[in-house]
Amino acid sequence: MSAPEPRATPRSCIFVADAEQRAAAEATRDAMEPLLADAGFGPITTQISELGTFHYAEDYHQQYLARNPTGYCGLGDTGITCPTGVVG
């Protein structure tokens, strides 16, 4: 009998289509991370990956924010806003 597989932890990812989008995502991450660290938060773990073939998720995953106007758990909890002017 084998041990059960560990549950996958949901992770966030930004999918970029080109170098300009990658630079914008990295600049935003790099601007926010020290602000979050100064406030006692851990590092940003969002992956930045190349966009491959796109597939829509199941219908019940679509338009999440329209159905949940208060947003995702964790958004807004930091009290920190992203600096403006990070990306050109």
pLDDT digits (tens, 9 = 90+) for 39-68: 999 999 999 999 999 888 898 888 887 887
Q: What are phi and psi of 29, to 5 degrees?
A: -60, -45
Structural domain count, the chain: 1
State the greatest distance between any 2 C-alpha atoms of the chain, in Å, as a whole number. Answer: 56
Does residue 84 lie within any of the structural domains? no
Q: What's the pLDDT band for 17 if we cut at 50, 70, 90?
A: very high
Q: How far apart are CA 28 and CA 77, in angstroms?
A: 18
Domain that residue 68 falls in: 11-54+62-79
The angle at the Cα of 21, spanning 17 to 27, to the nearest 5 degrees, equals 150
Does residue 75 lie within any of the structural domains? yes
